[in-house]
Amino acid sequence: MTLYGTTLLAVCHLLGILFGELLGRALGVQANVGGVGIAMLLLISARLYGHRRGWLDAKSEEGVHYWAALYIPVVVAMAMQQNVLKALSGGPMALLAAVATVAAGAGCVALINRDEPVSPSGQAPK
């Protein structure tokens, strides 16, 4: 059933966020440490395990794929509620700090990725 996939996704999401919170507490940080990343790793493992054991069928997977497909609309809705005014209120200093950070970051990414092939299809090199 399609809902089983969504349930699996929801359980992984909740467990990941919970572990992230616990990790944050253990480290004495007032933030969730990688909860979403942990949830993603849980879901990847669940998928591999489910395929091997044969309890994850195509119908259930639809319940995850639908949410993955909603990703771009959700991101557009996120863009619609950014605090753009606040960003502009920081004045020249906020502008300079943000531009310099992004430029340096992009330069660094280009440096580390200098040997990567440019393939828009997302295909991995050998």
Partner 1 sequence: MESLLQKLAVENGLVLAFAVVGLVVLFSGAVSRHLTFGRIQGSAIAILLGLVLAYVGGRMTGGSKGLADLTCFGGLALMGGTMLRDFAIVATAFEVQPAEARRAGWIGATALLIGTFLPFVIGVAVAYAFGYRDAVSLTTIGAGAVTYIVGPVTGTAIGASSEVITLAIAIGVFKAILVMVTTPMLAGFMRLGTPRSAMVFGGLAGTVSGVSAGLAATDRKLVPYGALVATFHTGLGCLLCPSLLYLVIRALFPAHA
Q: Where in 6-65 is the site for partner 1 (CB under 8 A)?
A: 9-10, 12-13, 16-17, 20, 23-24, 27, 29-37, 39-41, 43-44, 47-48, 61, 64-65
Tokens coding 35 = 């909860």
Question: Does residue number 4 form part of the binding site for partner 1 (CB under 8 A)?
Answer: no
Determine if 1 is a binding residue for partner 1 (CB under 8 A): no
| Phi/psi of residue 113, nearest 5 degrees | -90, 15
DSSP 45-63: HHHHHHHHHT---HHHHHH
Binders of partner 1 among residues 85 to 124 (CB under 8 A) are 85-87, 89-90, 93-102, 104-106, 108-110, 112-114, 116-124
Q: How far apart are CA 43 and CA 56, in angstroms?
A: 12
